[in-house]
Structure 1
Amino acid sequence: MTIFLLVVSLLYALFTLTLWVTWLRLPTVQTTKTVPNGPRITVVIPVRNEANTISQLLDDLSQQTYPNFEVIVADDSSTDATLSIVQQYVPRAPYALRPLPLSNEHTASPKKRAITQSIALATGDLILTTDGDCRVGPGWLTAFATCHVQTGAKLISGPVTFTTEQTIFDSLQIVEFSSLIGTGACTMTLGFPTMCNGANLCYVNEVFAEVGGFAGVDHLASGDDEFLMHKIADRYPYGVQFLKNPDAIVRTQPHHSWRAFYNQRKRWASKWRAYNSILPSLLAVFVFLSNAAPVIAVWGWWLGFLNGNVTLVVIGLKAIPEFLFLRQVLVFLQKKSSVGIIPLTQLIYPIYVLFFGLVAQGKGYVWKGRTLR
């Protein structure tokens, strides 16, 4: 048992230090005021019951410094005033804004359907997806257009964080989410992409059709981002990039209730069984074991069958490299105030990972007022 815990912890430390060094070496994409021969961008926003937030996002899009874009808001049978708000915004929008009402038919993946139907109407060379509760800065589109022109990437993953940190729960979510963003960015850079986020994801319109869109994964409620990324990465091994640029950051609201947080994390955790590529599945198992190691070590020390020094080594091999990595990602995401919460997150996170790793084995969760599988 001692050897197993030390080996797992050492491998995790090496993995995390590799991520830290990769993040430090990842260049920041520099933007300019204009993008010569910049692509036309179609912003796709799938929404359901976002009446409280959608107008703020539409206002943000009105402030964009990049002019060549259109916006499609695909309303998935909202039961509030979301669609009406978007329709009323059309006359005053300084960009082409198209509301797309969707029928209330049953579908296994409402979000994939919304994106697919939006892309069928899109005139953009690039598709850029975000969510109706997100906020973007004025240089958002310019950053993606610049990255595409400079790299020729087929898929560009952008950074996502949360808007506010009013409570400890908010800060814990910010730190936890930064680990996902940072890990996704670094694994892309290292050549084996594992994760991305549909709240800030860009891909070439023609490539979406070339890889068959969501065909093959359209029976899964989640994964409109990662499964598509893996399909594109399989076709274009060097065509997937992370956009490290502060202007590209998208901000969304943290969850304020345990139930909403629980359902989202269960939805995320349930995806790993459906990966065709073995790497994301291996990473999920590895992270599970790495977070189990300190829990087992503390439990073993408490019961008296594990040496206290071994327990401290296991904890240190996880905590120190993690802190170095997470601090750098949080500073980039302009969340330096949450750096002090990292130790508390590290204390809670192993139990969190074990809990959702087990919960994800069950099927079904509630999302946007619907029960999905």
Structure 2
Amino acid sequence: MNLLPFLLFAALAVYLLALVVLSSKWKKIKAAKDPAQGGVDYPVTLLVPFRNEGRNIAGLLRNLADLSYPNLQIILIDDHSEDGGAEQVEEWISSEKKHNFNLISSQGRGKKAAIEEGVVMANANIILTTDADCALSADWVQNMLRAFDDPTVQMVAGPVMTKGGHTIFESFQQIDWSSILLLTNFFFSVKKPIMCSAANMGYRKEVFYHVKGYLGNHENLSGDDSFLLEKVYRRFGPQAIRYLPESDVLVKTNPARGLKGFLSQRARWASKWNKHQFWQNAGGAVLSALLSLASIGSVLLLMSGTAGVGMFALYWFLKLIFEYSVLGRVLKTYEIRPSIGYFVVASICHPMYVVVVAFLSFFAKSSWKGRKR
């Protein structure tokens, strides 16, 4: 039993050190002074695949109509929706006479096939992508295009954060997203990008064809973002990929409405860990699970009398303070400030959440918008 505190605090030290190292690359981030500067003459195509997003369609269309970029083609790709969403889009385009909006129906199955058809229909060389449950700022397009002023840049990614924060569950999701953004920014900073989100990304059309799109990845239910990132990185190198963590390119997405849907989404993401060619993906997943098990195992300290209770309290105090400092800094960048109480709940629940998601990624059947694999 005497060895247990040493092992637990050794695991904690690794975790806290990782937080410090990751946060060292999160510099003070400011939005561009002139959001309209850079790339305003580029024709741009925005692809928005959707499946069974009927409840989000009206808000999505209003948001897309408010984008201020003048030379923009918007292609909405229906991935066999069963809730009337495609009909909503078609009726809105007709009634509003939006000539730069196009609706197409995907002939293939899945989000990757939908995007591939959208790329074929795109009339611009610069392609941006987002999801149907997301909200974009009016200047999002031109802010994303800043990076493409550099001709060596072939792909751009930006941050994603859930809306809300009014409940403990919504705040938990935002805190979880802050850890994702912290990891994303760090690995981009050290020229080893391992993840990004198709809800906020862009690339040159010819590059998509050059790396053969999603060839070799169609069997995976998700991964239209990270697998493409991996292909571009391997073909063109880290200098061809740019990450923009600034708040003026932030894309906001809807939080999961229930625990089951949230865990299913994260398990689907986690199920890709052993399908990537980069060891960082697998190594990070395994390390995260082990450190989470250590946090759960810290309850054994309570069986060691008064000294054990003191060590248990110290363990969780250090964990909470470091998380509040590091992850709170990330959230502050996007003007999100959860209460310390929400951080306490997140700190306690997160290790259990990681272990549950790891279990589900191995043994549960992945699903997305009514599809299972």
Is TM-score (shorter-chain normalized) higher than 0.5? yes
156-165 vs 276-285, which moves further? 156-165
* Partner deviation per Cα, 1:118-171 (whole Å, 9 max, x = no partner): 111112222211111111110110110113225843222111112223322112
Question: What stretches of structure 2 of length at least 5 have no aligned partner?
Answer: none
Cα distance, 1:27–1:282 mapped onto 2, change above 3 Å: farther
Question: What stretches of structure 1 of length at least 5 have no aligned partner?
Answer: none
Structure-to-structure mapping, 1:28-67, within 5 angstroms: 28-36=31-39, 38-67=41-70
RMSD: 2.4
Cα distance, 1:29–1:285 mapped onto 2, change above 3 Å: farther
Q: Which amino acid aligns with 2:275?
A: A
Question: SS of 2:55's equivalent?
Answer: coil
85-94 vs 291-300, which moves further? 85-94
Matched, 1:325 2:326: yes
Corresponding residue for residue 181 of structure 2: 181
- In the TM superposition, residue 284 of structure 1 has moved relative to its aligned partner by 1.0
Cα distance, 1:366–1:36 mapped onto 2, change above 3 Å: closer
Corresponding residue for residue 100 of structure 1: 104
Matched, 1:216 2:216: yes
Corresponding residue for residue 360 of structure 1: 361
Counterpart Cα distance in 2 of 1:305 and 1:168: 32
- In the TM superposition, residue 241 of structure 1 has moved relative to its aligned partner by 2.1
Question: SS of 1:192's equivalent?
Answer: coil
- In the TM superposition, residue 230 of structure 1 has moved relative to its aligned partner by 1.5
Q: Which of 76, 80, 101 is matched with 1:73 structurally?
A: 76
Counterpart Cα distance in 1 of 2:89 and 2:272: 32
Counterpart Cα distance in 1 of 2:187 and 2:147: 18
- In the TM superposition, residue 297 of structure 1 has moved relative to its aligned partner by 2.1
Matched, 1:194 2:198: no
Corresponding residue for residue 17 of structure 1: 20
- In the TM superposition, residue 198 of structure 1 has moved relative to its aligned partner by 1.5
- Is 1:28–1:244's contact at 8 Å kept on the other side of the alignment? no
Corresponding residue for residue 91 of structure 2: 88
Counterpart Cα distance in 1 of 2:215 and 2:6: 44
Cα distance, 1:38–1:20 mapped onto 2, change above 3 Å: farther
* Partner deviation per Cα, 1:343-373 (whole Å, 9 max, x = no partner): 21011001111111112111413321222x2
Corresponding residue for residue 344 of structure 1: 345
Q: Which amino acid aligns with 2:258?
A: S
Question: SS of 1:79's equivalent?
Answer: coil
Return the TM-score normalized by structure 1. Answer: 0.90
- In the TM superposition, residue 319 of structure 1 has moved relative to its aligned partner by 2.9
Cα distance, 1:49–1:33 mapped onto 2, change above 3 Å: same
Question: SS of 2:208's equivalent?
Answer: helix
Counterpart Cα distance in 2 of 1:306 and 1:218: 54
Counterpart Cα distance in 2 of 1:339 and 1:300: 24
Return the TM-score normalized by structure 2. Answer: 0.90
Counterpart Cα distance in 1 of 2:80 and 2:194: 32
Percentage identity across paired residues of the two chains: 28
Question: SS of 1:44's equivalent?
Answer: strand
- In the TM superposition, residue 298 of structure 1 has moved relative to its aligned partner by 2.2
